[in-house]
Structure 1
Amino acid sequence: MSQAGRDTKAAKAQEEAYSADSLTVLEGLDAVRKRPGMYIGTTDSQGLMHCLWEIIDNSVDEALAGACDEITVTLHDDGSIEVADNGRGIPVDVERKTGLSGVEVVLTKLHAGAKFGNASYTAVGGLHGVGSSVVNALSSRLDVEVDRGGKTYRMEFHQGHPGVYTEEDGQRPSPDSPFKRTRKGRPTQLRVVGKVPPKRTGTRIRYWADPEIFNSTAEFSYQQLIDRVRQTSFLVPGLKITVIDENIQETGDPSRDELLEVDQPVAPAGEDSQAVQEQAAGPQAEAAESVDEAEDATFAGAEPAPNQDESGEPPLGRDLPEAGVELRPVNPAGHKRVEEFLHTGGVVDFVDYLSNGEPVSDIWRIHGEGSYQEETQKVGPNGELHAERIERACGVDIALRWVNDYDSTIRSFVNVVATPGGGMHVDGFMNAMTRQVRKVMEANARKLKVNLKDPHAKIERDDVLAGLVAVVTVRIAEPQFQGQTKDVLGTAQVKPVVTRMTDDQFGQMISGSKRGFKEQAGRVMEKIVGEMHARIQARKTKEVTRRKNALESASMPSKLSDCMPGNDDIAELFIVEGDSALGTAKAARNSAFQALLPIRGKILNVQKASISQILGNKECASIIQVVGAGSGANFDISQSRYNKVIMMTDADVDGAHIRILLLTLFYRYMRPLIEEGHVYAAVPPLHRISLAGKRKGEYLYTYSDDELEGKLAELQRQGIAYKEDIQRYKGLGEMDADQLADTTMDPRTRMLRRIRMEDAEQAARIFPLLMGDEVPPRKRFIVENADDFDRTKIDT
């Protein structure tokens, strides 16, 4: 038989073998374990953290429903994670349709929960009904305890299947302990393991991520957890969230313990502080040996715990710290790390926390509630689905402020779930805000010095975003996200609600018609229009400064003495103080890779100037144009025409002042040059010593008066003669070309000082202080630091 015949026969046999028996039906949570990426995105670190978010968000949903005000997240030293809350507790009664307890339904059935019927929850983050069950499926072990109706119920699972663990060590549960799985088709009854006061409710879930699911590169990020918890405490005012890390032992700092904003728990008689910490962490104490013993222990005349009334419940009217207080207690030495978060100021506090830089405006707030209609699938009394058009409420809460910077920080949330990809709520906010800014600019064009006839003079979204810090939140029922990971809000009806509210409230603020906003609105508009001018100028600058060939240097400023093309990887730009120094430098340079740009004395202090003043200043504009990489937010270091930018000024006070002004320009508008180490200061000598005798014709250079005295003393000790007439350079122009080359320009013999920015935040504070408009703070800084004067630190 030919090869073609054999292939045909094999294909026919394979077709006959493909039947219904070839189909695989994955039941329950097996589908989740088979395709985990469909539910948590990835099985690396991102997916590992996503599981934790699902459990935390369920507790936060209880807080949004007004049923919870405390959540505790415990990172156990065995790698497990526990999330405890004082919410209503997962229902423990039997669900009629499945015949299973509410706990088992929530933790083993996909698309099951209380968030589909709109009765128990109105604005939540977890809406797909797969969060808890997916975490259960992807865990090697999951334990759940529920406090309801005066009892504590417990249930255990292995890789999503219910059953019972037999612990070798009751104090240290393990996924490796013997496990007896409940037989298929038989409901697992919740075990009652203790009693609690009748009004105490809550849920505790502890799980061990399954190493069979998550790859070897998956790592838990403590910092991500802290960031997420902090943002949640901002978004749900009054919710206290505690993070306990048993893997880290604090060293303790008694001096800081006295500054805590919250009372530490006090142990009742007969209990040590460790027991109190364990009780505060959330896990239920070990069950009594019997129900009778548990009842006796709970109610037989026992004293109520601290901060509880006689019913055992925390007092409802407990005092909260002042708005914006973040609780971060320091524990005594040897205790596990504990961090607590509680904020009462909401999104306003959040924006204040995110703001980094000098404020241009106060924090503005847009908030209110709108409504929209939506057609949705409702669950009928018999579990059937039917379409129904209902009216939804949409709560909007937005806080924003501008700072003196060109970076933007925008955080968006739907029901406290972060939407890093934005979505309809962010689009509605940005569209309305940009539209209102354009209206104000057109109405005040003359005051803002805008030529409306210029087709390029139009506010773009990037102009508005420069320096903007904003938190955009909406609360709606059953939001539609793009994917289970909830990165983008897709509910289209939210956009017009946010747009209308922003148009109304922000429009009054930016136009200055709202009381108290006129001066702030003026500053904001000046900044936004300045960013527009900078963007337009940057585009023009980029167009004229990119050197694609040697002829393009003709478009550079006439005073630029450029180097030869083709040496961009080693090219150096010397910014030279004065024309006299320029003449010497021309003779001293290597024109193959060294370019010279002279400046006339002290340039404009850009810290005090507006964008329009900077662009109109000849010296600043020339430097930006010659560097050729743009400015501000549009600066692209890959387009820089030089590898090194070297400030070559005189070794005196005026020269130091000029360097500071140049550095201010680089820091404010070409910061990546400093961040990546491309900015240098030349170090010219201050004195020249002419040797005599046998070493006649040799010269030594010194760079300070102290160094000169030391060098002369050394020459005398060594018996080396020198001329008494020590030459002191008043400026670079006094040097001969060979002297300038040897000491300052020749890479083989010169000395350069690289300008670094080790701490950008500190630099951001110091520059406005030393170079800004406000004179009193600068004067106060000089007076307060006068006693710390150190002559060796002066850059001369």
Structure 2
Amino acid sequence: MYIGSTDSRGLTHCMWEIIDNAVDEALGGHCTRIDVVLHRDGSVEVRDNGRGIPVDVEPKSGLSGVELVMTKLHAGGKFGSGSYMASGGLHGVGASVVNALSGRLDVEVDRQGHTHAISFRRGIPGQFADAGPDADFTPGTGLREVRRVAKKVTGTRVRFWADRQIFLKEAEISRDSLLDRARQTAFLIPGLTIAVRDERVEEETPYEEEFRFEGGIGEFCTYLAPDEGICDVLRIQGSGQFTETVPVLDDEGHMTPTEVERRLEVDIALRWGTGYDTTVRSFVNIIATPKGGTHLAGFERALVRVINDQLRSSKLLKTNDDPVVKEDVLEGLTAVVTVRLPEPQFEGQTKEILGTSAASRIVSQVVGKDLRHFLTSTKRTEKQQARAVLDKVVNAAKARMAARQQRENQRRKNALENSALPAKLVDCRSEGLDRSELFIVEGDSALGTAKLARDSEFQALLPIRGKILNVQKSSVADMLKNAECAAILQVIGAGSGRTFDVDAARYGRVILMADADVDGAHIRCLLLTLVYRYMRPMLESGRVYAAVPPLHRVELTNIGKKKRGAKQRDKYIYTYSDAELHAKLLELEQKGFTWKEPVQRYKGLGEMDADQLAETTMDPRYRTLRRIRVEDAEEATRVFSLLMGNEVAPRREFLAKSAQDLDLSRIDA
């Protein structure tokens, strides 16, 4: 319930529950440095130089503050006590949940001139005889003083070993996800240093990286932006009051509903760029809310309302024109939306959606006021930038309406022709979604062979001519004007973009079948860009594949003598890379087989006979398919933007940096 799962995602969540407690100290201005260490033995250690967890005995429970926080739910410093104006660990349960899910957890606190230490096994306090989670354990030992330190030295160190009786054996913390979030947190708290050390590497020297940013979310917005800006980063700040009824622990230990006055602070950085992609990150008390919530709803509502008002007043929208919608306003926008408030209401401990209703109203008011001031500014630079933003929104609206008109015209045309599918589609007979497959084939020459090689019962073919449009650098209207892109969307039949309905797709699998060379890889990349941008649910549901055609065919000449009753199929061996070919030839030579020279190397799919294409690439009994997966949507978005986007400089840098790592033998030339 609290960590979401028992795989790598849940284990990572445990780590961030501990880190968030340190970050709360930084939010309160008591901590300037956090160190995160991934030890070789699988444990995770988090150190901070904050005030340290209280070590005094709490009168009601008779437990030390450390033991209380680590073993009792809702005993954290945030729960109804006012210790933090805003915090990341919001439910007062994070540390105790991590403790309960750990085979061993050690806590050291520097406070009051001493280092205080305590250990736990699956939430039970005690003392371990040695290092590691499997050491002998004596329960019952509480907090103890282990050494003296200077009175000014304060801080907390928590190290935990996940309980492998609960977590999956393969569960581990991803360094990349840790680095991304550490960088993100450093952006959100200017002046905070977050250092990451990974000792799990095979090299002698551990991997280390440190983050510290003074520019805050304005610098974060610039970092996230995938394109060139048409306006400067606009910083919007403000606050508002609201009343909320919350349960508070009374003197008798009961939870009593009490009305309290809350203050919500808003801090937003945004800018529009020349591109078409939208990048909006939202946070509550520096905790990411990837699924948004009331604060994001208020932000978007204010944007649409204020920009519509300004377009009307500046006559860019006529009286009878339709208003612009959220999709138009968000095109090319990069924004970081942060709010801070005590005890926000979330949907679940994983804190992905903010539910505090007052946040929508307050954020909308703050954004509306500052954005209107920017759009109506009389300063020369701001006036030019505001006009560029308004023009971009109007152009986005025109492109959206043109695309809609084109779709409607296409539907009307199809209705008149009594056919909803392109003429070049070679459809299958089966209408069963589970088994049906759509092969998107490179070129008409390969189509002819594929027609003979397919099983017409459940395999459909759609040929494309050459390289399709790079949709990462194009608008929706341009994409729909492209005949190849429009045909693919039409054949799959589930819409595009936000309206895409994966359940309406006409085929259970979409298989990209391109040549096994550099051009084929480029075509496959362009097709995947189209799928990723406009049909992403197909990727998320694991229904997109890449066919793996062979690169070589080895024809054995003495197979009949070596194998009694050998079939015709045994006469041929297919390999998929030069390295595999060399290894296979060496193996055949050692076994006494001979083969026809030279070994056939396929230049493309059209060069293969129908039986060869069926046997290697299309027949489910023998073929190899590579499923295209989106494990990390954020990283996938970054890579697609880098390789296929408008910005040339980062792509050139990537190519130059990666050139030294390239195996020249892999170049198909």
TM bracket, shorter-chain basis: 0.5 to 0.7
Q: 1:607 to 1:155 in 2, by over 3 A?
A: closer
1:116 matched residue in structure 2: 79
In 1, are the aligned partners of 2:25 and 2:51 still within 8 Å (CA)? Answer: yes
Residues of 2 paired with 1:643 and 1:550: CA distance?
28
2:186 matched residue in structure 1: 233
* Residue 571 (structure 1) shift: 8.7
What residue identity is the alignment partner of 1:224? S
* Residue 746 (structure 1) shift: 11
1:92 matched residue in structure 2: 55
1:178 matched residue in structure 2: 136
* SS state at 2:262 partner: strand
Deviates more, 1:195-204 or 1:119-128: 119-128
2:36 matched residue in structure 1: 73
1:708 matched residue in structure 2: none
Note the alpha carbon deviations across 1:451-477, whole angstroms, 9 max, x for none. Answer: 5435xx332212222222211111101
1:697 matched residue in structure 2: none
Note the alpha carbon deviations across 1:608-627, whole angstroms, 9 max, x for none. Answer: 99999x79xxx958787677
* Residue 545 (structure 1) shift: 2.9
2:154 matched residue in structure 1: 201
In 2, are the aligned partners of 1:406 and 1:633 still within 8 Å (CA)? Answer: no
Pairing partner for 2:70 from 85, 107, 110: 107
What residue identity is the alignment partner of 2:407? K
In 1, are the aligned partners of 2:298 and 2:364 still within 8 Å (CA)? Answer: yes
Are 1:487 and 2:352 matched, yes or no?
yes
Residues of 1 paired with 2:272 and 2:172: CA distance?
36
* Residue 362 (structure 1) shift: 2.1
* Residue 72 (structure 1) shift: 0.6
In 2, are the aligned partners of 1:535 and 1:634 still within 8 Å (CA)? Answer: no
In 2, are the aligned partners of 1:89 and 1:146 still within 8 Å (CA)? Answer: yes
* Residue 645 (structure 1) shift: 13
2:567 matched residue in structure 1: none
Residues of 2 paired with 1:78 and 1:94: CA distance?
33
Residues of 1 paired with 2:648 and 2:501: CA distance?
24
For this pair of structures, how many residues does the alignment match? 539
In 2, are the aligned partners of 1:547 and 1:553 still within 8 Å (CA)? Answer: no
Could you list the runs of 5+ residues in structure 1 that have no partner in the other structure? 1-37, 168-172, 183-187, 251-333, 576-592, 599-603, 647-662, 679-744, 750-756, 770-776, 778-792
What is the correspondence of 1:398-417 to structure 2 with a 5 Å cutoff?
398-417=268-287
Pairing partner for 2:177 from 224, 242, 251: 224
2:320 matched residue in structure 1: 453
Note the alpha carbon deviations across 1:257-313, whole angstroms, 9 max, x for none. Answer: xxxxxxxxxxxxxxxxxxxxxxxxxxxxxxxxxxxxxxxxxxxxxxxxxxxxxxxxx
* Residue 179 (structure 1) shift: 0.8
Q: 1:366 to 1:138 in 2, by over 3 A?
A: same
What is the correspondence of 1:436-585 to structure 2 with a 5 Å cutoff?
436-445=306-315, 447=316, 450=317, 452-454=319-321, 457-512=322-377, 516-545=381-410, 552=417
Q: 1:607 to 1:147 in 2, by over 3 A?
A: closer
* SS state at 2:223 partner: helix
2:166 matched residue in structure 1: 213
In 2, are the aligned partners of 1:412 and 1:422 still within 8 Å (CA)? Answer: yes
In 1, are the aligned partners of 2:276 and 2:474 still within 8 Å (CA)? Answer: no
* Residue 127 (structure 1) shift: 2.5
* Residue 378 (structure 1) shift: 3.6
Deviates more, 1:476-485 or 1:624-633: 624-633
In 2, are the aligned partners of 1:561 and 1:597 still within 8 Å (CA)? Answer: no
Are 1:52 and 2:15 matched, yes or no?
yes
Residues of 1 paired with 2:506 and 2:50: CA distance?
57
What residue identity is the alignment partner of 1:425? H
Q: Which has the larger radius of gyration?
A: 1
2:247 matched residue in structure 1: 377
Deviates more, 1:402-411 or 1:194-203: 402-411
Note the alpha carbon deviations across 1:651-710, whole angstroms, 9 max, x for none. Answer: xxxxxxxxxxxx99999999879x9999xxxxxxxxxxxxxxxxxxxxxxxxxxxxxxxx
In 2, are the aligned partners of 1:635 and 1:669 still within 8 Å (CA)? Answer: no
In 1, are the aligned partners of 2:38 and 2:197 still within 8 Å (CA)? Answer: yes
Q: Report the TM-score when normalising by structure 1.
A: 0.58
What residue identity is the alignment partner of 1:47? G
Residues of 1 paired with 2:471 and 2:200: CA distance?
49
Residues of 2 paired with 1:505 and 1:419: CA distance?
23
Q: 1:71 to 1:628 in 2, by over 3 A?
A: closer
What is the correspondence of 1:96-495 to structure 2 with a 5 Å cutoff?
96-167=59-130, 173-182=131-140, 188-248=141-201, 334-381=204-251, 383-445=253-315, 447=316, 450=317, 452-454=319-321, 457-495=322-360
Residues of 1 paired with 2:95 and 2:190: CA distance?
25
Residues of 1 paired with 2:486 and 2:120: CA distance?
67
Note the alpha carbon deviations across 1:45-80, whole angstroms, 9 max, x for none. Answer: 222111111100000011111111111111111111
Q: Report the TM-score when normalising by structure 2.
A: 0.68
* Residue 397 (structure 1) shift: 0.6
* SS state at 1:163 partner: strand
Residues of 2 paired with 1:178 and 1:565: CA distance?
67
Q: 1:156 to 1:759 in 2, by over 3 A?
A: closer
Could you list the runs of 5+ residues in structure 2 that have no partner in the other structure? 430-436, 445-459, 515-524, 547-605, 611-635, 653-666
Q: 1:65 to 1:766 in 2, by over 3 A?
A: closer
Residues of 2 paired with 1:129 and 1:45: CA distance?
23
Deviates more, 1:628-637 or 1:539-548: 628-637
* SS state at 1:219 partner: coil
1:660 matched residue in structure 2: none
In 1, are the aligned partners of 2:265 and 2:339 still within 8 Å (CA)? Answer: yes
What residue identity is the alignment partner of 1:347? I
Note the alpha carbon deviations across 1:710-763, whole angstroms, 9 max, x for none. Answer: xxxxxxxxxxxxxxxxxxxxxxxxxxxxxxxxxxx99999xxxxxxx9975455
* Residue 526 (structure 1) shift: 2.2
What is the correspondence of 1:725-736 to structure 2 with a 5 Å cutoff?
none
In 2, are the aligned partners of 1:243 and 1:338 still within 8 Å (CA)? Answer: yes
Percent identity reads: 44
Note the alpha carbon deviations across 1:510-547, whole angstroms, 9 max, x for none. Answer: 34557632222222222222222222222232333359
* SS state at 1:79 partner: coil
* Residue 479 (structure 1) shift: 1.1
* SS state at 2:135 partner: coil
Pairing partner for 1:83 from 36, 43, 46: 46
What residue identity is the alignment partner of 2:356? T
In 2, are the aligned partners of 1:545 and 1:625 still within 8 Å (CA)? Answer: no
In 1, are the aligned partners of 2:272 and 2:332 still within 8 Å (CA)? Answer: yes
In 1, are the aligned partners of 2:31 and 2:49 still within 8 Å (CA)? Answer: yes
